[in-house]
Structure formats: C-alpha cells, structure tokens
C-alpha cells in the first residue's frame, strides 16, 4: 500500500510539473519579442554583477561548510577543499531530470574518497530538509512584510525560531520521510543538536545572501532595482523552492523562471519584458557561476586523496 501511495504521489508530481513547464514555456515564449527588443538597450553594470557573483560564491562556501558539519555526525571527516569538490561535482546531477542523481553522485564520490556513501547522502538529505524548512519560513517572513501585516511577520519570526530550536527533534523522521519520497532509504543517526542548528543558521543566511545577490544582479542587468530588498529575497527563495520540488524539471528549469518572472511583475519589481529578461539571464548567470568551479575541479583531475576503486 505504501509503495502504491508513493508511486501515485510521484505520478501526480510529474503531471503537475509537466503542466507547470508547459505554461512556463508558453509564458516565456510570448515575452521573447519584448525581451529581444529590450536587449538592444541594456548597459551592463558589471560591478554589481561581480558583487552578486562574489556573494553567491560566499554562499556556496557557507553551505559546503554546513554540510561538512552535518557529515561529522556520521563520524565522517573531510577537508573543506575535498568537500567542495564532492559538493560541486555531485551538484551537476541536478541538471538531469529527477531529484536523486545529485545524491547518487555524492554517494559514489564519497565512497571513492573513503567515506561512507550513506553518510554523504544522509547528510545531504538532512541539509536539504533544513534548507527547505528555513526557506519556507524566510518566504513567510518576507512575504508577510510585503503584505503589510506586522502580526504575520511576528508569527513567522516565531515560527522560524521554533524550527531552529526544535530541529533536532523533528528533523530525523522528516529526513527519513524525504529520503523515502525520493527513493533513498536513509536512516539518519541521532544528529547532534549543535550540527543541526549550525545547518539551520547557515541555510537561513544562505537564503538571505541569495536574495541580496539576486537584487544586485537585477541592478547590474536593468540599471536599477526598484522595491525593497525583502521583495527580492521572497521572490528568489519562493522560485528556487518551487523549482527544487519539481521532479521533472532539471535544476528547476522552466518552473523557477516562470515563478521568478510572475512574482517580479506581481510585486512591481519589473514589467513583463524586464521580468522575463531577468528570469532568463539569472538562469544563465547562476549556471555559469556553478559550472565554472565544477569545470575547474574536472580539469584538475581526480582527487589525489581518493581511495582506489
């Protein structure tokens, strides 16, 4: 019965994702003529784009270090440079449809490094669970502020604080559920509260940094970034989460762009043409920022500290 329920849920996810991709592609296609004409008037602010890129790289370093801390709960210790290699190269799996390839690649690379594949995949699931929880809370906080509801802001802040404090209790069963949902039977150990709180704080900071970097990128692309910083944090975080939970779209392709453009227009951050341009350009920018370190690691060759296979 559980297997049937899981299969039905996956089918429903694929149907939903396919529908979203269809409408996303149609929406972006209708805006292409406006985007094309807008391209001739762009004057890139490279200093803003460079600052945004630097902040993204800092965010990557923060997330890698948080993953390393979680990994230590499995008695698996890895230097930062090796952890970065595993993290960047395994992330290439997200460009393949489905949500399991990154975890699979991470497990294989960890085993070659002499680490436990279960530890690598399990710590990644824990990190993703923390990230989704804190990201949802961040959207609630920033979204409530945009709606002008101070009471909702206060409640959302309390919710985020409650998540951070209770994470060691609810996270292990939630990680098991998430692992089963994506087809990975993972039984996380009793992860120390300090490790989970570290991951939660790192995740919350990463969402804020992502949103600020997105605002800087918009400023560099369009010459200005109207609206409050909280708007950009809310838009980027919501778009990223919706793209992440889509099982059919590799790296959230299409889903994230559609959501990003729609929310920017709705919040008055850009008109339809500029929003579509930002959505497409942000995808190219972030893909390059992520692929360059991966390419450098590939060019450097296999890790010398890896165990032979």
User: Which pLDDT score, from 0 to 100, does residue 233 have?
Assistant: 93
Residue by residue, DSSP assigns 192-225 as: -HHHHHHHHHHHHHHHHHHHHHHHHHHHHHHS--
Phi and psi at 223, nearest 5°, equal: 85, 0
Domain boundaries, the chain: 61-300
Residue 229 burial (C-beta neighbours within 10 Å; 0-12, 13-18, 19+): middle
pLDDT at 299: 75
CA distance 276 to 13: 25
Span 144-156, average pLDDT: 65
Residue 67 in this model has a pLDDT that exceeds 90:
no
Q: Which of 95-99, 122-126, 219-223 has the lowest mean pLDDT?
A: 95-99
State mean pLDDT over 143-165.
67
Contacts of 216 (CB under 8 A, 6+ apart): 48, 49, 51, 52, 55, 225
> What is the secondary structure of 74-112 as a DSSP string?
GT----HHHHHHHHHHHHGGGGSSSSSHHHHHHHHHHHH
d(CA 305, CA 84): 14
Q: Is residue 307 predicted with pLDDT exceeding 70?
A: no
Query: What share of the chain has pLDDT > 70, as a percent?
Result: 61
d(CA 53, CA 189): 36
Residue 1 has pLDDT above 50, yes or no: no
CB-CB contact of 176 with 197 (8 Å): no
Provide the pLDDT confidence category of residue 243 given band limits of 50, 70 and 90. confident
Average of per-residue pLDDT across 153-165:
69
Over residues 32-59, the pLDDT tens digits come to 555 555 555 677 789 999 999 999 999 9
**Helix pair 32-39, 2-30: axis angle to 10 deg:** 50
Beta strands in the chain (DSSP E): none
Higher pLDDT, 307 or 202: 202
What is the model's pLDDT at position 184?
Answer: 55
Higher pLDDT, 262 or 114: 262
Average pLDDT over residues 114-130: 74
How does DSSP classify residue 250? Answer: G
Stretch among 103-117, 164-178, 219-233 having the lowest mean pLDDT:
164-178
CA 241-131-165 angle, 5° bins: 135
Q: How far apart are CA 130 and CA 196, in angstroms?
A: 8
Highest mean pLDDT among 106-115, 118-127, 185-194, 269-278: 269-278
Confidence (pLDDT) at 196: 75
The pLDDT confidence band at residue 89, using thresholds 50, 70 and 90, is: confident
- pLDDT computed for residue 187 by the predictor: 54
Residues 243-266 have a mean pLDDT of 77
Q: Report the distance separating Cα 237 and Cα 255, nearest Å.
A: 13
Per the listing, tokens 């990003």 go with 260
Report, as an integer, the average pLDDT of 117-128.
73
Q: Which residues of 88-119 are buried (b: 16+ CB within 10 A; e: fewer)?
A: bbbbbbbeeebbebbbbbbbbbbbbbebbbbb
Residue 293 CA to residue 295 CA, distance in Å, equals 5
Q: At what angle do helices 80-91 and 101-112 cross, to 10 degrees?
A: 140
Which of 17-31, 75-89, 205-219, 286-300 bottoms out in mean pLDDT, i.e. has the lowest?
17-31
At 70 the pLDDT is 80
Q: Are 308 and 116 in contact (CB under 8 A)?
A: no
């Amino acid at each position: 019965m559980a297997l049937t329920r899981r299969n039905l849920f996956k089918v429903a996810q694929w149907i939903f994702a396919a529908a979203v991709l269809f409408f996303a592609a149609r929406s972006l296609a209708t805006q292409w003529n406006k985007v094309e004409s807008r391209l001739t008037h762009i004057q890139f602010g490279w200093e803003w784009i460079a600052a945004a890129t630097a902040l993204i790289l800092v965010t990557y370093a923060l997330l890698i270090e948080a993953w390393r801390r979680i990994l230590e709960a499995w008695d698996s210790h890895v230097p930062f440079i090796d952890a970065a290699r595993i993290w960047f190269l395994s992330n290439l799996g997200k460009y393949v449809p489905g949500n399991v390839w990154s975890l699979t690649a991470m497990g294989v690379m960890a085993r070659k490094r002499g680490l436990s594949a279960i530890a690598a995949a399990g710590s990644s699931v824990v990190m993703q669970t923390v990230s989704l929880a804190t990201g949802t809370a961040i959207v609630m906080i920033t979204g409530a502020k945009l709606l002008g509801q101070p009471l909702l802001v206060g409640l959302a802040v309390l919710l985020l604080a409650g998540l951070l404090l209770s994470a060691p209790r609810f996270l292990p069963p939630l990680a098991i559920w998430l692992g089963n949902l994506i087809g990975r039977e993972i039984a996380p150990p009793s992860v120390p509260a300090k490790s989970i709180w570290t991951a939660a704080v790192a995740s919350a900071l990463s969402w804020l940094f992502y949103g600020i970097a997105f605002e800087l990128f918009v400023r560099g692309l369009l010459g200005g970034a109207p609206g409050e910083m909280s708007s950009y944090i809310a838009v980027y975080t919501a778009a990223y989460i919706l793209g992440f939970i889509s099982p059919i779209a590799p790296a959230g392709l299409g889903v994230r762009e559609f959501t990003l453009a729609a929310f920017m227009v709705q919040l008055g951050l850009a008109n339809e043409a500029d929003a579509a341009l930002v959505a497409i350009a942000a995808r190219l920018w972030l893909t390059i920022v992520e692929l360059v370190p991966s390419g450098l690691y590939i060019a450097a060759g296999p890790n010398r500290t890896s165990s032979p296979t």
